[in-house]
Chains A and B, each alone.
Chain A
Amino acid sequence: MMSGNHHIRIEGVSKAYGSFVALKGIDLSIAKGEFFSLLGPSGCGKTSLLKILGGFEAPSAGDVIIAGTRVNDVPPYRRNTNMVFQSYALFPHLDVYANIGYGLKRRKASEAEKRATIEGLIDLMQLKGLENRNVEKLSGGQKQRVALARALALKPEVLLLDEPLGALDKKLRDEMQKELRAIQQRVGITFVFVTHDQEEAMALSDRVAVLFDGRIAQVDTPRNLYNRPKSVDVAQFIGTINLFDGVLRSATGGRTTVESPDFGTISVAEPAPSTASGRLRMAVRPEQVAIEAAGAAAAPGRIAGEGTVTALSFRGDRSYVELALKTSGAPLSVVVPNVSSSQVRSLDVGTTAGFSFAAEDLLLLE
């Protein structure tokens, strides 16, 4: 990370609601203009952290620093952050225009300037013609755009978004994702985006923080989160992954030797994870595995094995093959793109199939 460019710093932030601890020592720094996502299952504390950034909840411990100023005790109405709420929180007694202009009303700008700002946002959000519509009568996508426009109207330094696309159907959500990303790039504001949808986080973000149970499990780019997860939990939460048991034999100079009931003794160019017992887990993504002819020898640099097909499912552009390994019976999922599905076509449930994957794709996890 570019140091000195930390727009938001969260230092040792904890949050307790009574005896229940929702956030446990969060440390994060977010760069200016970054699209940063907080990703985690429902109840892991994403909204709590966002509310602490917005000033709606005070941290029980730790500090929040925005643009170099500690803001722990600054109320929301004095913070240069704006929020798009999970349920939009549009004012039901005001129309679209008045909702967007709500925060501008108290500002010292001239009426003409304010009107120009609001009309610019109405254009940007494609809300033309709906200015005087009651917000209750809008569709989900329109409400979402009004909420976004209302928050952007004050030109905040930081925009906080709490699952803003959660209530939309898939098609609209995909569209809004593109728009959101485009808007963020145009306005250049730091976005802190909360979601429980890993695909959404990956599609939008520069970086993602994965939260489990009030703790940060990993902060990384979407690519690294997927390809280099630091724990089994993260690997499983971001997409699907195959896991095998292994025992650590030796680790020297960045190479690790592992013994596994399925693949024998293998050597991987990866540092060993910290493991007290010597046991570890090996992981490989389903799309990194290829189906081979049964009994074929492993090509150089690849690891091969055999399994019984337990399920097959055709999904148009790709097929899912589920195997049970001959050796340990462990399950293995394989995704095969249907451009090269000749091997898959000969498969049937109950038949034996070979498979292989590149040794370098194998991850070692604790």
Chain B
Amino acid sequence: MTTRTIFAASGSRQGLLLTAPAVLVVSGIVAFAFASLVCYSIWTQTYLDMDHTPTTLNYQRFFREPMFLFLLGKSLLIALGASVITVLAAYPVAYYVSFKVQRRKLLWITILTLPFWMSYLLRVFSWKLILGYNGILNTGLGTLGLISAPVEALLHNSFAVVLTLTHSWAPFAVVPIFLSMERIDRSLLQAAADLGDTPLQAFRRVVWPLTLSGVFSAGILIFIPTVGDYVTPQLVGGTSGIMIGNLIFAMFTKLNNWPLGSAIALMSLLAIGLIVFAASRLLGVHKVEVK
């Protein structure tokens, strides 16, 4: 018992030593990037020059001009929608593999993550091919005589963005949910049944609470990168599907206003942080110990 704890302790210390260089480099880079963002956000762009006098003007602009808050709000909503839908789609898949498949579970998971082996751009483009004006869906529906003229509304809107994001990220969501299910001792389900729970009740009272941490990780894993995504909105979103990422991207490129771009980026970061925190409270994840 004691020897095992000692080994475990030395094992984790060894792990710490081994990962330390990588962790230091990565956190150094992140800290540098973050510090740069903070600095830029309190400076002012004066045409080609940078005015280094600290100011809150960029933040004031962010809150004063409705477009910024609107775009941020919309991006958060789209990302939230994509995360929720993705998790909802991934959960039954993970459940099936974990609880119903008897053998070769890992093979199943590998096959499920196949779409992820394809380049991100290719995946987005394939949706363009499916949803586009002359795309597969319109052609198919037209051939079947279900529509007389191609429907334009399929592409270039928020729906297309959510759909594409969901498809892109679903495999990412399956894995953490699947892992949280695999950790559940199967005799717990028998115990629940023994104590009078129907399968549905046992799911609600045992499986769901014990997979909450996996659901939460999956949601976060998707939510954070999708809020700032600017590739998908640009390719399938059109003008009405534009998101905060596109704006930040533009600030750092075409519009050449790094200070304002930094302020928007930091405000987005803050919003994401607050939402993640609120969601963890709401789902009660902080009460479930992650082992």
Interface residues of A (CB under 8 A from B): 54-56, 75-77, 81-83, 85-87, 89-93, 102-103, 106-107, 134, 136, 150-151, 154
Contact = CB atoms under 8 A, between A and B. Distances in A.
A151 B191 CA distance: 9
Q: Is the interface of B mostly helix, strand, loop or mixed?
A: helix
A85 B195 contact: no
A82 B192 CA distance: 10
Nearest to A153: B195
Contacts of A54: 190, 194
Given A93-B210, A93-B288, A77 B185 contact: no
Nearest to A51: B190
Interface residues of B, number: 19
B191 A83 contact: yes
Given A93-B288, A103-B196, A85 B206 contact: no
A89 B187 contact: yes
8 contacts: A56-B194, A77-B194, A83-B194, A87-B185, A90-B191, A91-B188, A150-B195, A151-B194
B196 A77 contact: yes
A56 B193 contact: yes
B203 to A, nearest CB: 13
Contacts of B201: 106
A89 B195 contact: no
Contact of B193 (A77, A91, A92): A77
Contacts of B73: none
B198 interface: yes
Nearest to B184: A92
Contact of B209 (A85, A93, A102): A93
Given A77-B196, A77-B198, A106-B196, A89 B288 contact: no
Contacts of A56: 190, 193-194
B197 interface: yes
Contacts of B195: 77, 82, 102-103, 150-151, 154
Interface in B188-236: 188, 190-198, 201, 205-206, 209-210
A107 B201 CA distance: 13
B196 A89 contact: no
Most chain B CB atoms below 10 A, which of A75, A102, A134, A150: A102
Nearest to B287: A93
Contacts of A150: 195
B198 to A, nearest CB: 6
Contacts of A91: 188, 191-192, 206
A75 B187 contact: no
A154 to B, nearest CB: 7
Nearest to A76: B193
B210 A89 contact: no
B184 to A, nearest CB: 9
A77 B185 CA distance: 19
Given A77-B198, A106-B201, A89 B193 contact: no
A76 B187 contact: no
Nearest to A147: B191
Nearest to A79: B194
Contacts of A93: 206, 209-210, 288
A85 B187 contact: yes
A86 B101 CA distance: 25
Given A77-B193, A92-B210, 12 more contacts: A54-B194, A77-B197, A82-B195, A85-B190, A86-B187, A87-B187, A90-B191, A91-B192, A93-B210, A106-B197, A106-B201, A134-B289
A93 to B, nearest CB: 5
Nearest to A57: B190
B191 A89 contact: yes
